[in-house]
Structure formats: structure tokens, C-alpha cells
Amino acid sequence: MPVVETKRPDIRALRGLHLFHFATSNCSQRVRLVLEEKGLRWTGHHVDLAKFENASADFVALNPRGVVPVLVHDGVTIVESIDIILYLEELFPEPRLTPCDAGDRRYLDDSLERSAEIQASLKLLMHEFLFKPFRRMNPQQLDRYRAATRQPSLIAFMEDFSSPGGFGRDRILGAIEDMENVMEALEVRLSSRSWLSGDGHGLADIAWIVNLHRFGLMAFPMRRYRRLNQWISRMRNRPAYRRAVRNFDSGKLRSLFRAYTALRLARGTSIRSYLD
């Protein structure tokens, strides 16, 4: 369990459940979904990634990795969304979100690991097809980001993203292939189970819905994934999804995403153009 020993006395003094998160971060959505499904009381602390507040000295003192979400429970700091949701499941076991069947439990473990591994590909695609108009940095902004962010991997990513050539076609195609392989595997899983977690809704479903939510925003063609589309509809109809995802969605941001996606569709450079 990645527990961070924070140097901030204000964090160590916190009692109850506190979530440091960003409204539209898929990893933050994942943790909020578990909190809401379990009916837990929690206090939110919004970290504005659009303003790079995750690179601030205060936040890096909380999480040296400079990423959200971060859960603080009675002064104990836990990072990484998959580890956080497993922590919540262990400490607050009702309602149960892990399957009883041994085979389904093995699938859950593998599925959670895979959902964490795929984050790099998903992050690349989100920045390319959703965030590009307002997340790319000029040289001066990159200099400030380098000075504020001590994580070499985050700096390298933003340098690649903001470079004239961007990520390059091969890297984008590789990320799309990763996601297509995932969706095909999820479609197969749903041919024999009602939910990804097994016979009941659980952590595997929560781990993946927040990733696939992004593909709807990118206008990724998903018509051939019949079972997966039906599962997405059921997930979106859950009250916890409304509270954890929809209630945090920004209408302004959705409009920006739609406009940029429409522009790239018109120009023939959308994510669909990479699938032809």
C-alpha cells in the first residue's frame, strides 16, 4: 500500500476521509465512485490540474509524485487510485465490491493491474484528442513547469506533448492499439458475466468505466462492442455515477471537448482517422 509520510502537519491533523482530486480526472472519478457506492462521508479538496496546482510546493509536499488523487484518512496519506479503492474496500467492506468466487477474484486482481498499466496510453490519447488546445505549453511555461515539478517522467511527457511534432503518429497508433485490445478483452469478459467483476457490480467495473468515459468524449467508434456499450449504459445509470462523475463534469469543459473533437473530425485528424 503506497502510504506517503507527509511533512505537512495540517495533513497529519486531518480526521475522517479527505480526497484531494480533480473534477474530470479519471483516476479521481474512480475513487469518488467507490466513496459514493459505499455511502461514505468525505471531504473534497479540489486540485486544479488545468492551472498545474499539482506542481505546487504544497501539493508536492503532500504527494511527491505530483498526481491526483490522494486520500487522507485520519492523517494517513494514500496515493494511486487502485491502491486507494482497495484500501477503502478493506476498511469499509459494505457494500461488498469484490467477488466471492475465486476465479472472479483472480480476474479482478488482473483487471485492476491492467487498468493501472493502461493509464499511460490513455493519458497520451486524452492529451492528443481532448486537451491539446489548452494544455500545450510554450517555452516559458515549460521552464516554469520544470522548476516546479520534480518528477522527470511528468516533465518529459509535457515536453513531448508541447513539442512541434507532438507525440508522433507511431506513439498515437500504439496507444490506440493498447486501448482496442483492452476493449476487445472487456467485450469477451461480458459475454460470460453480467458485470466485469462477475455476477455483481464491483471494483473491476468502477476501474474501467472511468477510462471508457473518455472514449465517448473523443468520439471513438465503439459500435462493434455491443455488450460493452450495454454495460456502459448500465454503469451510467447508477446513482453513484451521477454523484461521482456527472455532478463534477464541467459544462464549459464538455463544450470545449465537443468543439475540438468536431474540429478534428472535420479536418480528418480525429481519433477515427487513425483507425482507417
pLDDT tier at 168, thresholds 50, 70, 90: very high
CATH of the domain at 140: 1.20.1050.10
Percentage of the residues of the chain whose pLDDT score is greater than 70: 99
pLDDT at site 147: 84
Neighbours of 162 (CB within 10 A): 18
> In sequence order, which ranges of the chain are alpha helices (DSSP H)?
9-12, 26-37, 57-62, 81-91, 102-117, 119-126, 132-135, 139-148, 152-162, 169-189, 203-217, 226-236, 239-244, 251-267
Task: Tell me if 129 sits within 8 A of 271, measured CB to CB.
Answer: yes
For 100-117, what is each residue's pLDDT tens digit? 999 999 999 999 999 999
What is the average per-residue pLDDT within 108-135?
93
- Of residues 96 and 51, which shows the higher confidence score? 96
Q: Which single residue is written with the C-alpha cell 487502485?
A: 82
Question: Does residue 268 belong to any structural domain of this protein?
Answer: yes
pLDDT at site 246: 92
- 250 and 148 within one domain: yes
Pairing of strands 3-4, 43-46: unpaired
Q: pLDDT at residue 149 above 80?
A: no
Q: Whole-angstrom Cα distance, residue 255 to residue 7? A: 40
Q: pLDDT at residue 231 above 70?
A: yes
Q: Whole-angstrom Cα distance, residue 245 to residue 30? A: 9
pLDDT tier at 93, thresholds 50, 70, 90: very high
Q: Whole-angstrom Cα distance, residue 82 to residue 125? A: 20
- 240 and 191 within one domain: yes
Question: Does residue 64 belong to any structural domain of this protein?
Answer: yes
Q: pLDDT at residue 75 above 60?
A: yes
Mean pLDDT comparison of 51-65, 81-95, 150-164, 214-228, highest-scoring range:
81-95
Q: Look over the chain and give the mean of its residue pLDDT values, rounded to a whole number.
A: 93
CATH of the domain at 27: 3.40.30.10
Q: Report the candidate in 88, 40, 48, 86 with the shortest Cα–Cα distance to residue 68.
A: 48
What is the average per-residue pLDDT within 207-222?
89
pLDDT tier at 1, thresholds 50, 70, 90: low
- 114 and 49 within one domain: no
pLDDT tier at 179, thresholds 50, 70, 90: very high
What is the reported pTM? 0.92
Give the total number of structural domains in the chain.
Answer: 2
- Which residues constitute the domain of residue 211? 102-274
Cα atoms in the Cβ-side hemisphere of radius 13 Å centred on 72: 22
For 249-268, what is each residue's pLDDT tens digit? 877 888 889 899 999 999 99
What is the average per-residue pLDDT within 70-77?
96
pLDDT tier at 240, thresholds 50, 70, 90: very high
- 175 and 56 within one domain: no
Cα atoms in the Cβ-side hemisphere of radius 13 Å centred on 203: 32
Q: Report the candidate in 91, 80, 81, 75 with the shortest Cα–Cα distance to residue 18.
A: 75
- 111 and 74 within one domain: no
